[in-house]
Structure 1
Amino acid sequence: MRRRALMALSTVPLLSLAGCVAPQQVRGYERVYQAHQLSDQQLAQLQARLRAEGLAEARVARDTVGRAQLLGRYASEEQVETAFVLAQALLGPTAVSPFYPTDIAERRWEREAALALQAHAQARQRQAPPSRRRALLIGINQFLDDRHLRPLQGEDDARRVQQYLARAGYETTALLGPEATRGAIESAIAAVGRALGSDDELFIYVSSHGALPLPGPAGGDDRRMSIVAYDSGDAMGPRSRDAAEYLLRLQRSSVRDSLLQDLAQRPSRQTRALIDTCYSGEMLQSLRQEPLPAGLAEQREGIALQPWAATARAQRSRYTLLTATSPGELALGPPPREGSFESPLRSGRRLRGSFFTQLLFECLEQRQGLLQEAFADAERLTAQLARQVSAGRLTQTPRLLSTMARGQDRL
């Protein structure tokens, strides 16, 4: 029965749910390291574009394999991100060295870390209120910038998650469709962070487009992605003149994943986060390697302990992070007109939304809420569907990181 249900989908046209900046739009996304032959004219063109964007002290040079490397002085990490967006748009991602400039006047992570420590100290001074279960859910189907951002089924996914969490006793804050503007998302993240108590449980869910990842301060394969809001991109004002200007506008109008990471790191009894966007696997790829607390094990080989779980060493801190993809992959689902696919677990049941989210919560019901066991089932089924609907051309491998032992992570 399961095989028949899956095979029935093999003829369905493919939709990449969250590929707002898909590889075909930015050449050379594949992460390979090879010699490059950038011309002096290409480097001069990039240098001129950087100056046109107000980065007067930014410089460009070739690295040891011929890629463009960003050097010079920058006022902030926001300026560095601007430089990387322009370089990747003009030259291609693999033609740009991921090594982060070192001369930055103000580092955002230092500023945000100081604020987080201050908030933590203030929270410890307050009397802890009764424990509550809180959830922040973000899902978008249609975007204001419908010229560049294709529709998806983020609202359908978020509603499925909301229904499940409501039965589990969660108080949900849901931003769906037009409600999920950049300002509203950032305000909701801040509000949930202020209300979150150290004895509370937190669940974060996002289903939207994911912007093309940018190199991060750690260098190497450290990558940062942004989450596209309802009003991101060319939603307001005149259209962008070219691809570089559009990618820059999209980056500036999206929500930084670090805001959600900061929320997930706040003291709580237990925090879970599920990010169903293209490139969401970068959240696990980009962060520094650390050993897990004693007695706990990584759920997938090669996944590092991330800033999402940076405070997991603290007593009673328990974290589970799930992403719909591995690095560089698109998050897939049925085509918009079809909108649904048959459940491989229950004959005749139609699931409306993305492959991974819908399969995960289908498996959660089968597994009586055991999250890691349900993830293992959904991971396998998602990978099968991705191969079948793309005739083997695409892969989608969800990832999981947990500081909890298998069998104890019950949602």
Structure 2
Amino acid sequence: MSVIEEVPVVIIGAGVAGLTLATFLHTANVPCVVLERRNRASIEARQRAGVVDARGVKMFEQWGLADRLLAGPVAQTLDYRVNGVGRLFEIESDDSSKSRFCTQQMLVNNLLRELIDVRGGDVRFDVTDVTISNEDGQRPDVRYVQDGQKHVVACDHIVGCDADRGVSRASIPPDALTTITHEFGYAWLAALVEAPVVAHPIMAASDNGFVAQIPRGPQRSRYYLQCAIGDGLRDWPDERIWHEIRLRLRDDTIANAAVLDLEIVPLRSVVHSPMQFRNLYLAGDAAHLVPPTGAKGMNMALYDVDMLGLALVSAVRDHDEAALATYSATVLPRVWKYQEFSAWMTDTMHDAGDPTLHGLYRQMVARARLDALYSSPAAARLHSAFLGGTA
């Protein structure tokens, strides 16, 4: 026997995209249900990259949620290094909103508290066997199992925020989507360590490969080290990690610290188009992926759900589905703009490093691009606009 219910919007996935959208809808008094396969504790503990850019800050301000959800210092400076020689890049913005080092994990935890604990939002954890019915001419529904009980939720709109390998996009017929992919040919070793960023976030190219250090709270940071696409975690014992960090930063004073978490991240870009099919709408990683070099993955997801939230409010509350009909066409131009920036950052920072990757010519051209950030006001302004999210 199944439990049968109705709700205007079902959101699949309780990551940053799903939780943000649900909070927006709750703010606008649009009922929704969020379904999540993991438990709350695992979501709260999961470390994810990302900094909320200026456009994202303004978005939360416009929804009246910035003061409740955003924390962390203003993100204004990056230390770009080449073979140990660093130059600070100041992120300038004419906008009143600034990027903030509110990490994705911090934002997700704030969203969970706001949506569930403060507002009493309906987020259902530990669900399994999620299936989507989205047939032409029929009202959609989502079926799932929780605690051994079968559930059926009839709805008007389904939003897939369940990442790259979730059930949402998989439910769309393959011939209804165009998928464009690009493999960069290398990966990152992502190491969460018990050591803070001492001064500024670092993005460093060296003849021995790329390395970055990004803050993850007051006492922790994450190092990203360029590695071969076929590397496994066994190829990177702690001693090798710290040796490569010191070598690539040209800094023998860096001491070993506890390595808390490791993963290999292949660098690739993916865009699925259109981002909607009948009554199903894709957002965040379910619709597109970017390499983490430009820190735009989370901000692309936030833009998606901002536009989708406004469209769903119009559809459910005002019975106007015009914005929903053009959702994909509205957001894809910005998706491609962020794709271009992420590819520029990825190619520049890696080409400027190890010359065995793409040769000395590409290395010197990439270093000239970095030099232009300090010699050309126009290049600096454009780079600031992309980093800060105002482009």
Q: The TM-score by the shorter chain falls in which range?
A: under 0.3
Bigger RCO (CA 8 Å, 6+ sep): 2
TM-score if structure 1 supplies the norm length? 0.23
